[in-house]
Amino acid sequence: MNAGFRADRFEYVISEGDTLARARRILSRFDLGGDLDVIRLGPNSSERDLESFAEVAIDGGVLPPPASVLSGEMRRGVFLVAKDKASGRAVSCAAAIENFHFSSRRADHAFWGMLSTLPEWRGRKIALILGAQAMVSFHEDYGISRFTTGVRAENGASMALCAKLDMLPGKWCTYVGMDPAQFSSAQVTK
Ligand SMILES: CC(C)(COP(=O)(O)OP(=O)(O)OC[C@H]1O[C@@H](n2cnc3c(N)ncnc32)[C@H](O)[C@@H]1OP(=O)(O)O)[C@@H](O)C(=O)NCCC(=O)NCCS
C-alpha cells in the first residue's frame, strides 16, 4: 500500500464438490417466471446488452469486466442477463469465467459470481437461478464443474446464496491493491 494503492479484502469462497449437482437441482426446481427473458452475451451482442450487464452489476456494487471480456473476445465465459419482458430493462446478472493458468493447482476451477439483482426484483430467486444457469452452461461448454468467488464476510445474503450452491468460505481470503486513478471505488465485490 506504500505505492498509494487502496486495499480491498474479501473471503475466498470455493466449491466443496457438490456444486454442479446442486445447480442442476435448482434449475429443475425453480424457474424465473414468465415475465423475464434470459440472454447470454457473446460476440454478436449489442453494445446496449453489454452495457446492461455492467449497469446491473454496478447497481449492486459489483465490478463488471470490460466489454472485450463480456463479449467473449478475451476469455471463455458465460455472462447472463435477466431482462424484464415488459420494459426490456435488465434486472439481474451472473457470470462464470476462466481465470486460472492451465498449470495452476486451481486449473480445474473457474471464477463464478458477479451476481446482482436490482433491489425491487430481489427475493424471487432470480440470482440463484441465474447463478446456477451460469455454472451449468460453463460446465456444458468448457467442462469445468468447480468454481471460486469472492464475497465480503459481512455480506450475509451472498454467503447464504453461495452456500445453497455448496460454495463455502475456507481458510483463505483475497487482498487486492487498486490504483485510485483506475478505480474510483475501493471495492471489487460486495
Ligand atoms: C445477493 C443478491 C444478488 C441476491 O439476489 P436475489 O435475486 O434477491 O437472490 P435470490 O432471491 O436468488 O436468493 C437466493 C437465496 O440467497 C439468500 N438470500 C438472498 N437475499 C438474502 C437476504 N437479504 N438475507 C439473507 N439471505 C438472502 C437466501 O438463502 C435465498 O434463498 P431463499 O429465497 O430460499 O431464502 C442481491 O441481494 C444483490 O444484488 N445484492 C447486492 C450485490 C451483491 O451483494 N452481490 C453478491 C456479490 S458477492
Q: Report the separation in Å between the CA atom of 132 and the middle of ligand 1, taken as the mean of its atom positions.
A: 13
The answer to whether residue 6 sits within a structural domain is no
The answer to whether residue 113 sits within a structural domain is yes
> What is this structure's pTM?
0.95
- pLDDT greater at residue 34 or residue 180: 34
Cα 120 from Cα 151, distance rounded (Å): 22
pLDDT at 2: 64
pLDDT at 65: 94
Q: What is the CATH number of the domain that holds 29?
A: 3.40.630.30
Average pLDDT of the residues of the chain: 94
pLDDT at 85: 97
The answer to whether 11 and 158 are in contact (CB under 8 A) is no
The answer to whether residue 152 sits within a structural domain is no
Give the binding-site residues of ligand 1, using a 6 Å CB cut-off.
Answer: 60-62, 92, 113, 115-117, 122-128, 151, 155-158, 160-161, 164, 189-190
- pLDDT greater at residue 2 or residue 107: 107
pLDDT at 14: 96
Tens-place pLDDT, residues 21-32? 999 999 999 999
Ligand 1, pocket-test mutation among 117, 126, 148, most atoms within 8 A of CB: 117
The answer to whether 133 and 140 are in contact (CB under 8 A) is no
Give me the domain span that covers residue 103.
Answer: 20-144
The answer to whether 108 and 144 are in contact (CB under 8 A) is yes
Q: Report the separation in Å between the CA atom of 157 and the middle of ligand 1, taken as the mean of its atom positions.
A: 5
Residue with cell 445453497: 164
Q: How many domains does the chain have?
A: 1
Ligand 1, pocket-test mutation among 161, 162, 167, 187, most atoms within 8 A of CB: 161
pLDDT at residue 40 above 60?
yes
Sheet holding 90-97, edge to edge: 36-40, 77-84, 90-97, 109-117, 146-151, 6-15, 167-178
pLDDT at residue 33 above 70?
yes
Tens-place pLDDT, residues 121-179? 999 999 999 999 999 999 999 999 999 999 999 999 999 999 999 999 988 998 888 88
What does the pLDDT average to over 114-126? 98
The answer to whether residue 99 sits within a structural domain is yes
The answer to whether residue 181 sits within a structural domain is no
- pLDDT greater at residue 185 or residue 44: 44
